[in-house]
Structure 1
Amino acid sequence: MSEQDGRDRAASPAQRNADLGVRIASSAVLLPLALACAWFGSWPTYGLVAIGATLVFCEWALVVDCSRTLVPRTPAVVTGAVFAGLAGLIAGSAGAAAGCAVALAGALGVALLSRSAWLTAGSLYAAALAIPMPAIRADAEFGLAALIVLLVVVWATDSFAFFAGRSLGGPKLWPRISPKKTWSGSIGGLIGGVASGLVAASLFGVPLSLGLAMLLVALSLASQAGDLFESAVKRRFAKKDSSGIIPGHGGMMDRVDGLVFAGALALFVGWLHGGGDAIAAGVLIW
């Protein structure tokens, strides 16, 4: 057991409750902001996602390359951060294909400047956050509904998993990667995430179907996989949080890890099912 794990286990109930209070307070600020930008669509959505993707790449760089080698690689970090933001803006205004082209150009630039596989992977990771949400929201007919459903599934999965795990406990899901996560939390997150997604879809008048339910299951599982992936990366580089900019949550990477994987899956499925011009419809209408 690591020193950090020991401190986590030794935390008093009062300390855990205080941490939960900070976590809830941060969410009370961030969630309305995200929903407002999703509601307005267009550049508010694209801009918020671009900022988030830029921060994610910067945090990734700090996590995987936080040693002496980071300063000489500043041009690569700046390139990755700029192209991560541009990918989101372009994906919303010109389409997912254009956003992907920008992301690939950015990854190539980072690879050439840094010669680091980890930094190059980080540029693609940031792009996986940057591209899906603007591309989905750009659909005038189904964009808002599809984006809200995606966000609800990810947020509900995380929240239900957190509270189910704390309440029920039980066997650990993958203790070597994430010592606190349990099977009860994972199952609770899956059930809560899918149920919440179906409710959100029905509120927008989306016909409920087996295809939609199966996609929501996949999105919830992808969200949990994204959480575990980020935990594995941080553990690989002995980092607890990606940064400390969000009280109670750590960094931007810590807040959007599930959304990266779930958003990428929603983009992929929506693109295959509905085509590049109807990604949101491809997510919702089965």
Structure 2
Amino acid sequence: MQTELKLRIASGVVLAAVALGATWFGGLAFQLLSVAIALLVYYEWSTITGLAERDFQGNAFGWLSLAIIAALILLGNIGYSLPALLLVVVISVLWVSLKKGSWWLPGGIVYAGLTGISLAALRGDDNPGLAATLFVFAVVWGTDILAYFVGRALGGPKLAPRISPGKTWSGAIGGTICGVLAGTAAFMAYFPLQDLRIPMLALVLSVASQIGDLFESFIKRRFGVKDSSHLIPGHGGVMDRVDGLVFACIATLVLVLIQYVVSDGRQIAFGSVLLGL
């Protein structure tokens, strides 16, 4: 086995153990994980896009914005975090418009802010939140792992050669199939499967995770970098590892918010709504 692959697997096991441990304990442990990921994502985003050099004051506001979002998450006020995010994004857009700053500033605030909010909201403090989080993890990890190995084994036509030359249609399809199977299996570990809703949900989240992967590849190609950072041995940066998870979690957030509107604004449990409980 190649040294790089061994390092990649070892780092992946450690990361998975940390994520699963925080998921199991929930509460503050998972909130801290969500906040840490969001802050590291913004650090890498601002580094890749050169925000500190392009717009130092704007970047400082970006850090302040993420600090506010992080504080709300840690205080358990996730319901206030989305309005707060909207407010700071509006301010950042006005800043960029008036000061001719970088449009990567509001983009970074949205991307990192939604990362922390969607992760924390997904887990919540209840058992359905635990099941929902494990379900999403299974979909994303199953998709990512099988897409990598199937793509390397089978090759074939490229999925998006201008964005990510290494990704193939065979890998995307293989990853999607595995993501659906893994997510369905994770659900069935807790609840009986009664219809095709869960496999269809897993399919949507698998596709969303691959779009997230391509989005991060686009950002890196746009600025000519290979990895978002070198924080994780064998994997690059945090964005390199959570790009698919971010989009999958944001997709779940959108789905639950739609249900919130449909239910006339009644209080709902995130995990319960996602899994149809």
2:202 to 216, 221, 229: 216
Match of 1:10 in 2: none
| C-alpha deviation, 1:279, in angstroms | 1.8
The separation in 2 between residues aligned to 1:149 and 1:20, in whole angstroms, is 26
Match of 1:6 in 2: none
CA contact (8 A) 2:231 2:237 kept: yes
- For 1:285, the aligned partner's letter is G
Deviations 1:6-41 (A, max 9, x none): xxxxxxxx7xx2221111011111101100100111
2:212 to 209, 212, 226: 226
Deviations 1:107-141 (A, max 9, x none): 24544556321111111001221111211211524
1:37 to 14, 22, 34: 22
Distance change >3 Å, CA 31–CA 177, structure 1 → 2: same
The separation in 2 between residues aligned to 1:235 and 1:84, in whole angstroms, is 29
Distance change >3 Å, CA 86–CA 103, structure 1 → 2: farther
Q: Scaled by the length of structure 2, what TM-score is found?
A: 0.89
Q: List structure 1 runs of 4+ shifted beyond 6 angstroms.
A: none
| 2:272 equivalent to 1:281 | yes
Distance change >3 Å, CA 46–CA 86, structure 1 → 2: same
Distance change >3 Å, CA 30–CA 65, structure 1 → 2: same
The separation in 1 between residues aligned to 2:192 and 2:39, in whole angstroms, is 33
CA contact (8 A) 1:20 1:248 kept: yes
| 2:107 equivalent to 1:121 | yes
- For 1:102, the aligned partner's letter is A
The separation in 1 between residues aligned to 2:120 and 2:245, in whole angstroms, is 13
Return 201-210 or 111-120, whichever deviates more.
111-120
- For 2:34, the aligned partner's letter is V
Distance change >3 Å, CA 180–CA 76, structure 1 → 2: same
Superposition pairs of residues 21-170 of structure 1, within 5 angstroms: 21-65=6-50, 68-69=53-54, 71=56, 73-86=58-71, 88-89=73-74, 93-95=76-78, 97-111=79-93, 115-170=101-156
The separation in 1 between residues aligned to 2:7 and 2:245, in whole angstroms, is 21
Match of 1:188 in 2: 174
Deviations 1:68-109 (A, max 9, x none): 32545442342244245335435xx234x3121222233245
CA contact (8 A) 2:49 2:223 kept: yes
Return 5+ residue gaps in structure 2 as ranges. none
- For 2:148, the aligned partner's letter is F
| C-alpha deviation, 1:236, in angstroms | 0.8
Distance change >3 Å, CA 252–CA 206, structure 1 → 2: farther
1:237 to 198, 223, 237: 223
Return 262-271 or 243-252, whichever deviates more.
262-271
Distance change >3 Å, CA 180–CA 84, structure 1 → 2: farther
- Aligned-pair identity in percent equals 41
Q: CA-atom RMSD, angstroms?
A: 2.0
The separation in 2 between residues aligned to 1:170 and 1:77, in whole angstroms, is 41
Distance change >3 Å, CA 43–CA 109, structure 1 → 2: farther
CA contact (8 A) 1:156 1:193 kept: yes
Deviations 1:23-64 (A, max 9, x none): 101111110110010011111001111011001011101111
Deviations 1:180-210 (A, max 9, x none): 0000100010000010000010011253421
Deviations 1:149-179 (A, max 9, x none): 0111111100010010111111111111001
| C-alpha deviation, 1:66, in angstroms | 5.7
- For 1:37, the aligned partner's letter is A
- For 1:179, the aligned partner's letter is P
| C-alpha deviation, 1:144, in angstroms | 0.3
The separation in 2 between residues aligned to 1:103 and 1:124, in whole angstroms, is 7
Q: Scaled by the length of structure 1, what TM-score is found?
A: 0.87
Aligned residues: 268
Distance change >3 Å, CA 160–CA 121, structure 1 → 2: same
Distance change >3 Å, CA 225–CA 87, structure 1 → 2: farther
